[in-house]
Amino acid sequence: MTETLSEQLEAYRAGWRVRVPLDRQAAMDAHVAELAAGGIGKTAKQVGDLAPAIKLPDQHGNAFDVASLIAKGPVVVTFYRGGWCPFCNMELKAYQNVLPRLVAAGASLVAISPETPDHVTDTAAKNELSFPVLSDVGQTVAKAFGIHYAFTKELRGVYDGFKLDIPGRNGAVDDWSLPLSATYVIGADGKILFADTRTDYRERTDPEDVLRVLEHRAAAE
């Protein structure tokens, strides 16, 4: 039986705890706790809110307006940190695997990253993604959704240790920041039907949970 995304992530986190030095783990755990205490998950856009406009370049270099999908039915919007993030890649592949079921439920799917278009293109190709993957350089859309956060000095030191140039990959000089790994479902009226804005990037919305929302909605219509 195929593992769910939640099961895959649980197994990966166990290995992550073994591989990553304890001091780096402590700094990352502390930052996750700070985000939760700061209430970003509560100030982010939530169910019932009108979703901000999403107009960004896709992996093919074309301007993409998510409103064109919303006009046809619900749209799943998932924010990911970047192609360098193994948790993100697992999530993207999981969504690709359930894409036929999402479509059967009358929905569309897009993913959004703060990375530059070139990196977004690489991520889409690497994971063989057939849905729109959008580049949010400057994180205008992430900020509009209220899910953008800045690194602490301690967290920046951790990523320096991993040799990850976040500002370089995001095309934003000296901007050490990322979006929460949030997932939304936007209805045809533009309002948010489902929102998961958890602060721990090592946890993700399982596509099966999103499918249950969509399939229940489709059955009720």
Q: How far is Cα 207 from Cα 211, in angstroms, rounded to an integer?
A: 6
**Cβ of 180: how many Cβ atoms within 10 Å?**
23
Q: Which amino acid is at 11?
A: A
**Cβ of 219: how many Cβ atoms within 10 Å?**
8
Residue 109: strand pairing partners: 76
Instruction: Specify the number of domains making up the chain.
Output: 1
Structure tokens at 183: 């997932």
pLDDT of res. 218: 65
pTM to 2 decimal places: 0.94
Contact 211, 94 (CB under 8 A): no
Contacts of residue 207, defined as CB under 8 A and 6 or more positions apart, other chains included, come to: 5, 94, 95, 97, 98, 102
Which domain covers residue 36, as residue numbers? 5-220
pLDDT of res. 220: 60
| CATH number (domain holding residue 193) | 3.40.30.10
Structure tokens at 153: 């000095």
**Cβ of 204: how many Cβ atoms within 10 Å?**
25
Contact 72, 186 (CB under 8 A): no
- pLDDT of the chain, 221 residues: tens digit per residue: 578 999 999 999 999 999 999 999 999 999 999 999 988 877 899 999 999 999 999 999 999 999 999 999 999 999 999 999 999 999 999 999 999 999 999 999 999 999 999 999 999 999 999 999 999 999 999 999 999 999 999 999 999 989 999 999 999 999 999 999 999 999 999 999 999 999 999 999 999 999 998 987 766 66
Structure tokens at 27: 């700094």
pLDDT of res. 120: 97
Structure tokens at 88: 């993100």
